[in-house]
Amino acid sequence: MKQKKKRILVLFLCLGLLLTGCGGSGNFRVGTGDKGGTYYKYAEQMSGILTKEFKFELKTTAGSEANLRLLQKGFLDLAVVQSDTLVQAEKKEGDFAGNDFANGTHYGAVAGLYTEALQIVVRKDTNIEIPADLRGRSISIGEKESGIRNNANEILRMLGITDQDYTKEELSISDSVKAMKEGRIDAFFCMAGAPTAAVAELAKDTEIRILSLDEEYVRVLSNLYPYYRECTIPAGTYTGQTEDIRTVGVRAVLVASTRLGKEEVRKLTEQVLTHSGELNQSIVTDGELTPPAAADLVLTGFHPGAAAYLKDQGLDVTVEQSDGGKVVFGGQDDEGGEK
């Protein structure tokens, strides 16, 4: 009798593990970044709009790099990550070089959500008119383990501005805003969907300017780093902004642990795309997502559940497997796909 009870208990435990592996819980821990950024706002909206299907527990973090590390260590189920950070992690470049980052839980993309616009925010009273004027200034380049630090370093390197040419601060978006209000910094870098909540609040009571990149800067950056794409922040996006701002952007990508079940993530992908108009309604660079837009500039493998949904829409994407391997799902017009 005892043996029979043990077998039943083991059966139930195995069934529980099977259900966990195949999804169905609908409860996600989401890495969001700083509360002043767009990741947090987007996750808040997702939590409200998709509440009938899923429950989201929002976790504030330092940003993209931290999100990937926490996801891989099993502390998160979902995270929003810059597309360029995903490339660096896969190639083991930048802050991912020379460490054991690859030894952990694997992850795959769900969808590219929207374009994150590079915003170089300066105080108007500093008379910083163009990016080259940043030399000799006090600049926040972003918090450690945030994706923006890499962007700031790439921009400054392109301008020929070295670490010795300016006073470096490494602050979150919220702390950068506070420091600018107090006059402790002249400028800060922000890579986020526009309008960015913290920047919008700053613009209401502090006179700021967001620098435009000229055509040559955009061309050089796009040639050096293919994950950048030119984008525009329309006039009127922020208080006091009277002209369009030409800049570059990367994609904000929703990423899921491959420990999440295929059907669960498939349903999540469908819901994110179905409600993308509502989710992106306050982001000036993007509107409703189509399947091709959801895969645009996503240069990493997709979660099998997301890939299955996109396949049903006729889209071929590379799939990330739980063991880190990759395979291509064929679309409706494909004859089987490439292994």
Low-confidence ranges of the chain (pLDDT < 70): 1-25, 98-104, 323-339
Does CATH number 3.50.50.60 belong to domain 116-250? Answer: no
Q: How confident is the model at residue 99, as a pLDDT? A: 64
> What is the pLDDT, as a whole number, of residue 40?
94
Q: State the pLDDT at residue 104.
A: 64
Specify the CATH number for 17-114+252-329; select among 3.40.50.300, 3.60.150.10, 3.40.190.10, 3.40.50.2300: 3.40.190.10
What was the pLDDT predicted at 327? 58
For 153-195, what is each residue's pLDDT tens digit? Answer: 999 999 999 999 999 999 999 999 999 999 999 999 999 999 9
Alpha-carbon distance of 95 to 282, in angstroms, equals 32
Residue 205: predicted pLDDT: 93
Structure tokens at 238: 């922020």
In the structure encoding, which two tokens stand for residue 303, read together? 């979660």
For the chain, domain boundaries: 17-114+252-329, 116-250
Q: Quick one: pLDDT at residue 100?
A: 63
pLDDT at 3: 52
Answer for the pair 145, 63: CB distance below 8 angstroms, yes or no: yes
The alpha-carbon radius of gyration of the chain (Å, integer) is 21
pLDDT in tens, 236-288: 999 999 999 999 999 999 999 999 999 999 999 999 999 999 999 989 988 88
Nearby residues of 297 by Cβ (< 8 Å), 6 or more positions away: 83, 112, 227, 229, 250, 251
**3-class secondary structure for the chain?**
CHHHHHHHHHHHHHHHHHHHHCCCCCEEEEECCCCCCHHHHHHHHHHHHCCCCCEEEEECCCCHHHHHHHHHCCCCCEEEEEHHHHHHHHHCCHHHCCCCCCCCCCEEEEEEEEEEEEEEEEEHHHCCCCHHHHCCCEEECCCCCCCHHHHHHHHHHHCCCCHHHCEEECCCHHHHHHHHHCCCCCEEEEEECCCCHHHHHHHHHCCEEECCCCHHHHHHHHHHCCCCEEEEECCCCCCCCCCCEEEEEEEEEEEEECCCCHHHHHHHHHHHHHCHHHHCCCCCCCCCCCHHHHHCCCCCCECHHHHHHHHHCCCCEEEECCCCCEEEECCCCCCCCCC
